[in-house]
Amino acid sequence: MNNRDKKYLTSSQIIGLLIGFAVGPGLLRSPNSLIKFAEQDAWISSIIGLTYPLYIIIIANYIIRKYPDDNILSLSRKCFGKTLGNILNSIYGLQWIIFIITISTDLIKISRIYFVAFLTPVKVVIVLLAISIYAAYRGLESLATLAQINLYLLVSIMIFSIAALKYGKLLNIQPIFGSGIKNIIHSSFLTCYYYLGFENLLLIHPFAKDTTNVKKSSFTALLISGLMWVWTIFVTIYYLGIDIIPKSFWSFILVFESINIPIVNNFRYIFMFVWTFAVFIVISGHSFTASLIMNDITNINRTFILMFLYFLCTLSSLWLMSLDSYKNALDAISMFFTLYNIVFISIISIIIYIKNKTFSKRKATIN
């Protein structure tokens, strides 16, 4: 894939896009998931879980250094052949379609509880996906601009959450390592779903104005998003404690009940606006990724693909609303795709390494 005439992403836009791919609705309920095993040490599990996106970024940057103008789709066909490569690319793209559906379902539930209870699920998902799909249709450059705005909003809202430290208790995070190393490690595997998204660096890097800055941008994005995730879990435990957290499915929202600003009646609504915008970015990013992959494999126009995704995800998310057990299925699916991404990207990097090493030996022999 040659994109020399399409290089327009700045370093800050790449940072915004990567954070937009990774930071979404899981932010609100991550404390609930992790404390089941790690209890007050859940924030430590979230730090350990960062090894997954760190590994992906390290491998991705190695691949980018060797093939700066090829994305993961074209490299897959080069490494595995056209047929097998497209099959593997299809599996890679499938995960983003699944996550569009599950994320939309989460947003329907929380929006009807907190700020649009008067709307039916059908109306919520129709508007939600219409806006998100349209943003994906506008293209990567427009999406990157929105992602930058999203980054500034997320950072701002995280800064405001520091106010919760005034009302929390140190005892809520003690004893450190009290839950046991085994439980902390086990809980860290549950972060897989929350940290998915950095894999798309291998899709967007050919659009970068300067590929030499991609490495710095990707690590910066990981640092910022990692701080967001760890801070979210830490401050929620510190403020609420592990006994209160399970009483709210989206416990991080309660942290913003502690913020009192004279000119704002309820800061929670400001937070919900920011969070909703972040979810729009995630869904738009996944929609763009899925349409890009499907277009690459089938050569079908992206407009038709996005229309198909709109109807598919609308119907599927409404169907998931009636299923109480889909969270357990989502955990299993997330774990599968995490392992798949690791193996898929790792094998490509190994093949590239072998090919480059073989080429170097041949060149040295000729000389």
Question: Are the C-beta atoms of residues 16 and 150 closer than 8 Å to each other?
Answer: yes
Q: Bigger pLDDT: 151 or 365?
A: 151
How far is 240 from 89, CA to CA, in rounded Å? 43
Residue 32 in any domain: the answer is yes
Q: Residue 26 sits in which domain range?
A: 11-357
If one counts the domains in the chain, the total is: 1
User: 332: domain CATH number?
Assistant: 1.20.1740.10
Quick count: other Cβ atoms within 10 Å of Cβ 62? 15
**Structural domain includes residue 56:** yes
Nearest-angstrom CA–CA distance, 122 and 125? 5
**Both ends of the chain: CA-CA distance in Å?**
31
Measured between alpha carbons, how far is 362 from 167 in angstroms, rounded to an integer? 66
Please check whether residue 208 is in contact with residue 67, taking contact to mean a CB–CB distance below 8 angstroms: no
Q: Is the pLDDT confidence value at 181 over 70?
A: yes
User: pTM value?
Assistant: 0.89
Query: What DSSP character marks residue 170?
Result: G
Residues 6+ apart with CB under 8 A from 207: 3, 6, 7, 8, 9, 140
If one compares 38 and 121, the residue with the highest pLDDT of the two is 38
For 331-367, the pLDDT digits (tens) are: 778 889 999 999 999 999 999 999 877 766 665 566 5
The answer to whether residue 103 is domain-embedded is: yes
Residues linked to residue 264 through DSSP beta bridges, in sequence order:
261
Query: In what helix (H) or strand (E) does residue 78 lie, and over which residues does it extend?
Result: helix 72-80
Query: Nearest Cα to 31, choosing from 267, 248, 291, 258?
Result: 248
pLDDT value at position 2? 42
Residues 313 and 303: their CA atoms lie apart, in Å, by: 15
Structure-model confidence comparison of residues 207 and 108, the more confident one? 207
- HSE of 331, CA atoms in CB hemisphere, 13 A: 11
pLDDT (average), residues 45-49: 92
User: What's the pLDDT band for 323 if we cut at 50, 70, 90?
Assistant: low
Average pLDDT, the chain: 86
250 or 74, greater pLDDT: 74
Query: Does residue 119 belong to any structural domain of this protein?
Result: yes
- pLDDT of residue 215 exceeding 90: yes
Tell me, yes or no, whether 57 lies in a domain: yes
- Tell me if 6 is assigned to some domain: no
* Residue 4 pLDDT level (bands cut at 50, 70, 90): very low
State yes or no: pLDDT of 133 exceeds 90. Answer: yes
